[in-house]
Structure 1
Amino acid sequence: MNALDFPAGQSAQAARAAIRQGQWTGHTSGLADSHVQGNVVILPEAQANDFLRFCQRNPKPCPLLAVSEPGEAKLPALGNDIDICTDVPRYRVWRDGALVEEPTDISHLWRKDLVTFIIGCSFSFEQALMDAGLRIAHIEQNVNVPMFRTNISTEAAGVFHGPLVVTMRPFKAKDAIRAIQITSRFPNVHGAPVYMGDPSLIGIADLSKPDYGDAVKVAADEIPVFWACGVTPQAAITQAKPAFCITHSPGAMLITDLLNHQLATF
C-alpha cells in the first residue's frame, strides 16, 4: 500500500486502522489530511518532568498537544480508540541514547511507568497551505519531508538539550510570504517559520542531504523555508542518553481525531 491508495479526506480512524494492522508503515504526510498529527516521545516517569520543562522552554519545536498519565496507553483527548502501542506506523526505541530498534508495535515494551508526550507536527498546517493554492514539494514528489539539524541551540532543561531540528519546504518568494502568514495561525503545530534563505547560516551544508526524511528538488527560483520540527527531542535524546525511551520514526506520526482548523488561532 502507498500514500496514493488512501483517498483524499479519509478518516483518521481508517488511517489508524491501517497502521494498527500493519498495512501502512511509512510516513504519514498527506494521510487523513484534515486531521492533526503528532510527534511522539515516551519516557519513564523519572525523566518526564525534565522533558516537560524542556517542551515548555522550547515551544516552537515542542508544542505539547497531550501528556498521558504514567502507564496509560490511551489518549482520549486526541481520539477515543487511540492506543499509543499500535497506532504509530513505525517507532524508534532508544537505550542509553542509542537507536536500537524500529518496530511497528511496542506492546511488548510497554511499562507501567511510561509517560507519553504528543507534540504538534507541521504536517497539520500543510492542508491550510494547500487550501490556499500553495504547492508542497515533498507531497508532490511523494516523499517524506526533509529535516535538518541546525546550529541553533535549544534551551536546556535538566538532562535534555541539543540542536534545533527544522523541516524545509521550498517556495517561490510570493508564496513564501503567504506561507508565513498562514502558518503563523497555527502555533500549536510549530507556527511561523524560524528561518528562510541561505541554509548555511543555520548550519545546513547541503539541502540534498537531510539528517532525517528525504531530499526534495528545489528550483532555482525557490527559497528554502524552515520550520521548527518535533524531531528536535530526538536530537536531545541522543545528548541526554536516557536509559530507555521510545519515539516515532521521523515522519511517521500519530494521526489524531482533532481537526487541523481547530488549532487555528484566528
Structure 2
Amino acid sequence: MAKDMSPEQAREAFRGGLRVPTSGFSAGWTQANLISLPREHAYDFLLFAQRNPKSCPVLDVTEPGETSASIFRGDLRTDLPAYTVYRDGELVEERAEVVDLWRDDLVSFLVGCSFTFEAALLEADVPVRHIEAGSNVPMYRTARQCRPAGELSGPMVVSMRPVPAELVATAVRVTSRYPAVHGAPVHVGSPEALGITDLGQPDFGEAVEVRPGEVPVFWACGVTPQAAVMQSKPPFAIGHAPGHMAITDARDSDYQVP
C-alpha cells in the first residue's frame, strides 16, 4: 500500500512513471513542495520565504545545480510524480521529469507541506476528505497578498479540509504542533473572508464535498511560491505539480513540537 512505502520505494515508483497525488503516501515521512529558480532569483525567494514563513516554511536549500538535498537523497529531476515548468510566469508544461531542462544555476527549495500532518489528524479521528475520496487536496488563491521581497510578490495560497464542527478545535490543536509544515490554520469558516467565491472551483487540485455540519478549514499552502512565480514572472522556474510532492528522508516527528 502507498502508506507503507518507504521514501526510496515511493521515489522509485515515481521515477518509473507512477503519476498520482502523494497525500497518504509513506506514512511518517515528511513531504515537501519544490521550487527551483535560477541563482540570480534565489536570494529574493529566500527573503520572500523568510517574510512569509506561514506559507513558505523552508526545510532545505540546495547549492546551484545540485539534484539532491540533505533531506532528499533521491533525484529532484525525476523522483517526484509530476513537475510544472514556468517561463516568464506562464505555466508552459506539466511533465513526469525535468532532466533535459535542468540547469547548473538552479537553486532548489524544499518547502514544508501540510500533507505531513495529515497522519496526525487521522490519528486524532479528524477526517481528511481528499484521502477518503482518493483525490487531490483543493487549493485556492486568496485575496491576501504575501509580503513582497525583491522582484517576488504574490497571493497566499491555501489548502482546504472540511472538518466536523465539533472537531475543529482538535484540528487546530493537532496541526499547531507542526509549525515547520504550515502549522495551525490561517482561517476557519467563511471562504469569502479569504476572497474565495466558490469552493467547488479550486485553483489547484480537486474539489471535495463539504457535508452538513462540517466547516471549511484553511491552511497556508506551499503552492504559494508558484503563485508568486506566476505573478512576478521570472524567466524560468520548475516546481512540483500541486499535490504531487517530494517525499523526503526526514520524519514527520522531526518537525513536531511539544
TM-score by length of 2: 0.98
- Give distance in 2, aligned partners of 1:106 and 1:168: 29
- Secondary structure in structure 2 of the residue aligned to 1:102: strand
1:131 to 123, 135, 150: 123
Secondary structure of the structure 2 residue equivalent to 1:111: coil
What displacement does 1:161 show? 0.8
Query: What's the RMSD between the two structures over aligned residues?
Result: 0.9
Structure 1, unaligned runs of 5 or more:
1-5
Partner of residue 217, structure 2: 225
Query: Retained in 2: the 8 A contact 1:9–1:34?
Result: no
Letter in 2 for 1:10: M
Provide the C-alpha distance between the structure 1 equivalents of 2:92 and 2:72, rounded to a whole number of angstroms: 29
Alignment of 1:104-253 (within 5 A): 104-253=96-245
Helix, strand or coil for the counterpart of 1:29?
coil
Q: Shift of the alpha carbon at 1:7?
A: 4.4
1:8/1:114 Cα in 2 relative to 1: closer, same or farther (>3 Å)?
Answer: closer
Q: Once the 2 structures are TM-superposed, how far is the Cα of residue 94 of structure 1 from its aligned partner?
A: 0.4
How far, CA to CA, are the matches of 1:58 and 1:196 in structure 2?
20
Unaligned runs of 5+ in 2: none
Shift of 1:9: 2.4
Residue 9 of structure 1 contacts residue 32 of structure 1 at CA under 8 Å; is this kept in 2?
yes
Distance in 1 (alpha carbons) for counterparts of 2:105 and 2:187: 38
Distance 2:80 2:151 in 1: 26
State the one-letter code of the partner of 1:189.
V
Residues 1:47 and 2:59 aligned together = no
- Which of 65, 71, 74 is equivalent to 1:78? 71
Which amino acid is the alignment partner of residue 69 of structure 1? E
C-alpha distance in 1 between matches for 2:2 and 2:197: 37
Q: 2:207, 2:183 → 1: CA distance?
A: 22
Mapped partners of 2:213, 2:86: distance in 1: 40
Which letter does structure 2 place at the counterpart of 1:49? Y
Cα deviation for residue 70 of structure 1 reads 0.5
Contact 2:2 2:24 in 1 (8 A): no
Residue 8 of structure 1 aligns to a residue whose secondary structure is helix
- Aligned-residue identity in percent: 50
Q: Are 1:173 and 1:223, in contact at CA under 8 Å, matched by a contact in 2? A: yes
Q: For residues 146-174 of structure 1, what are the alpha-carbon distances to aligned partners after superposition, in whole Å with 9 as ceiling and x for unaligned? A: 00011111000011111110000011122
Separation in 2 of the partners of 1:188 and 1:223? 24
TM-score relative to the length of structure 1: 0.95
Q: Is the 8 A contact 2:29 2:250 kept in 1?
A: yes
Deviation at 1:33, TM superposition (A): 2.0
Aligned length: 258
Cross-structure match for 1:3 = none
Aligned-partner Cα distance in 1 for 2:140–2:124: 26
| 1:8, distance to aligned residue in structure 2 (A) | 3.2
| Distance in 1 separating the partners of 2:210 and 2:2 | 27
Instruction: Tell whether the 8 Å contact from 1:37 to 1:254 is kept in structure 2 after alignment.
Output: yes
